[in-house]
A and B are shown apart, each in its own frame.
Chain A
Amino acid sequence: MILFRYLQYGFRDTLRSLWRHKGMVLVSVLTVATMLTVLGAATLLAANSEYMAGNMEDELEVIVYLNSNVTRDDALALEPAFHEITGFESAVFVPKEDALADMSTRFGETSLAEALGGTNPLPDAYRIKLEQPEQIAPAVAYLENTETFPQIELIRYGQDVVENMIALTDTLEIACIALVIGMLLIALFLVNSTIRLTVATRGEEINIMKYVGATNLYVRIPFFLEGLMIGIIGALLADVILYFGYGAILDYVNQNIGFITMLDDPQLMVLVLLALLAGGTLLGALGSNIAIKKYLKV
């Protein structure tokens, strides 16, 4: 019964306090919202970096050019041997006719076949894809063995691109984790400072409550509810900003910057928004509870 009345008075006091301290409440809400927006943006940036790095990795492949004296049947018979490569994903045979046609398309209307007098100097080739960029170098070493693969003339795999890609992916991963952790720490610090400031201005109130014999529970309830509400409102505000902001950026990039493909994953977005809401709620509730602790020791 007492707890019910405490909650009843707590809700009333919370609403009254939110209204009477609206300036401070606004500052707290905006701080929570700003920090969570930045944190959410950092998370989405990290997800996008991973996504883009993944896309680039997918495009990495080893091109194996065959000797011109290898017959078509021999060339096709080679395919199962590639399955032995560690991390093998796929191997696509590119007949020299297709390679020439592809090249002609790139040269425009001029018929390359005609210009070459009906001959095709291009070799047959295989485009081999591996699961990870780190597996390319050992695969190339394996394919360069002329005893196992005497049919292979030349191997191209963009060594620099692969090495840079591995370095970039590793750096991006570390940078993104550091960014998210950094933002989380800054958010925690700022939100905690704001709540402390809010509570400090009302330390006197807590003090007087303790003098008249209020229990810690009675004192805590309105501050807890107030922190909870500030956290929820701030998080909802951050969610709205992120949802519409990311949508707008996605539309702009899709329409104007063709070479960048941004992550468009509604499930991930919902997850991030829910995580921010949970984080904001927790931050507000726990933050206010921790902040009033020292004023309760009277």
Chain B
Amino acid sequence: MIQFINVSKEFPNGTVGLKNIDVKIEEGEFVFLVGASGAGKSTFTKLLIREMLPTEGNILVNGKSINRLKQRQVPHFRRNIGFIFQNYRLLGDRTAFENVAFAVEALGAAKREVERKVDYALRLVGLEDRKTHFPDELSGGEQQRVAIARAIVNNPQIIIADEPTGNLDPETAKGIMTILNDINIKGTTIVMATHDAGIVNRASHRVMELSRGELVRDDKQGGYNIDFI
């Protein structure tokens, strides 16, 4: 599904974001991306959503090179990917329903289809009764659930989550992980960058550890640290 072939990314100021990354993520996998700040996790996710291009190497998604996508093809490519941010990134002037709806409207869907899809996505994350609330009327966990609903509403094949539990208390984080696991069980591939050792250790999914832009560990069922048993 996702393949990084000898991918390197060097920024104009000389900083190395990623170095010779060679990995393959299969369809339906749940992969944790771990590593210290500046290890290259964000560079990895940004390359994956085609926010930037690698300096060297090739990235394939569903067998197609995303390096070769023309700028006008990028939006269509991104519709196969749901993105979840650490700070939720909801539009403050829109209700929970509207925040999820615009991801469907952007595809040119009819009003009825928008309503059906949004209601379904909000129901999946347990927020059907909060859809008329604005972000500042929701708790952190609820806001992140709206963000998840927005990410899954178009039924993407891949979800990229960048520290989705970073701003949440452990109990709420557990709830978010339950939702993400449910989504994964239904077949969606999930790549999640995280600092939360507890979450990684409890889940025992595949763990890829980055350090200074290099892939230093890739365990099929690993923990946050190499010595995790």
**Chain A residues engaging chain B, CB cutoff 8 angstroms:** 1-2, 5-6, 9, 16-17, 20-21, 204-205, 207-216, 218, 298
Q: CA–CA, A20 to B92, complex, Å?
A: 10
* Bound CA–CA A207/B154 (angstroms): 18
Q: Confirm or deny: B106 has a beta carbon within 8 angstroms of a beta carbon on chain A.
A: yes
CB of B105 within 8 A of CB of A213, answer no
| Complex contacts, A6 vs chain B, CB 8 Å | 108
Q: Are B106 and A212 in contact (CB under 8 A)?
A: yes
A174 vs B91: C-alpha distance in the bound complex, in angstroms? 51
- Interface residue from A17, A211, A214 paired with B83 (Cβ < 8 Å): A211
A-B contact pairs, 16 of them (CB 8 A): A2-B108, A17-B93, A208-B91, A209-B106, A210-B75, A210-B78, A212-B154, A213-B75, A213-B77, A213-B78, A214-B75, A214-B106, A215-B106, A216-B72, A216-B75, A218-B105
Give min CB distance, B164 to chain A, whole Å.
14
Assembled-state Cα–Cα distance A234/B215 (Å): 57
Q: Mark B89-107 against chain A: 1 for CB-CB distance below 8 A, else 0.
A: 1110100000000110111
A9 touches B76 (CB 8 A): no
A1, A21, A298 — most chain B CB neighbours (10 Å):
A298
Residue interface bits B31-55, CB-to-A below 8 A is 1, else 0:
0000000000000000001010000
B103 and A20 within 8 A (CB): no
Q: A211-B83, A212-B83, A213-B76 are in contact. Are A205 and B91 (CB under 8 A)?
A: yes
With a CB–CB cut-off of 8 A, which chain A residues contact B83? 211-212
- Asked if A5 and B108 sit within 8 Å, CB to CB, the answer is yes
Nearest Cβ in chain B — how far from A126, in angstroms?
77
Report B-chain residues with C-beta under 8 Å of the C-beta of A205.
Answer: 91
User: A215 contacts which chain B residues (CB < 8 A)?
Assistant: 72, 75, 106
Interface check B19, CB cutoff 8 A: no
Q: Is the CB of A21 within 8 A of B106?
A: no
**Which residues B119-135 have CB closer than 8 A to chain A?**
none
- In the assembled complex, the Cα of A210 lies from the Cα of B81 at a distance in Å of 12
0 or 1 for each of B124-156: is its CB under 8 Å from A? (1 = yes): 000000000000000000000000001000100
**In the assembly, what is the distance between CA of A218 and CA of B104, in Å?**
12
Closest to B82 in A: A212
B78 → chain A, closest Cβ, in Å?
A: 4
**B49 partner residues in chain A, CB cutoff 8 A:** 211
Q: How far is the CB of B189 from chain A (nearest CB, A)?
A: 17
Distance between Cα atoms of A2 and B76 in the complex (Å): 14
Partner of A212, one of B51, B93, B110, B150: B150
**B79 interfacial contact with A, CB 8 Å:** yes
B106 engages A5 (CB within 8 Å): no
Docked complex Cα distance between A214 and B107 (Å): 7
CA distance A210 to B78 in the complex (A): 9
Among B77, B79, B89, B154, contact of A208 (Cβ-Cβ < 8 Å): B89
Q: In the bound complex, how far is the Cα of B102 from the Cα of A6, in angstroms?
A: 11
Shortest CB–CB separation between residue A8 and chain B, in angstroms?
Answer: 8
User: In the complex, A204→B72 CA distance in Å?
Assistant: 20
- Min CB distance B225 to A, Å, is 31
Do the beta carbons of B75 and A9 come within 8 Å of each other? no
- CB of B127 to closest CB in A, whole Å: 18
Which of these, B51, B77, B90, B110, contacts A5 with CB under 8 Å? B110
Interchain CA distance A6-B150 in the complex, whole Å: 19
How far, in angstroms, from A215 to B107 measured CA to CA in the complex? Answer: 8
Contact B107 A213 (CB under 8 A): yes
Q: Are A212 and B108 in contact (CB under 8 A)?
A: no
Considering the complex, give the chain B residue whose CB is closest to the CB of A219: B106
Q: For A213, A218, A298, which residue has the most chain B Cβ atoms within 10 angstroms?
A: A213
A7 CB to nearest B CB, Å: 11
Q: How far is the CB of A287 from chain B (nearest CB, A)?
A: 21
B106–A1 touching, CB < 8 Å: no
A1 engages B93 (CB within 8 Å)? no
Is B69 in the interface zone, CB < 8 Å from A? no
B1-50, CB < 8 A from A: 49
CA A227 to CA B154, docked complex, whole Å: 30
B105 and A9 within 8 A (CB) = yes
B216 lies within 8 A of chain A by Cβ:
no
Judge whether B185 is part of the interface by a CB distance below 8 angstroms. Answer: no
Which residue of B has the minimal Cβ distance to A207? B89
Cβ contact within 8 Å between A212 and B102: yes
In the complex, which residues of chain B have a beta carbon less than 8 angstroms from the beta carbon of A9? 102, 105
Residues of A within 8 A of B51 (CB): 298
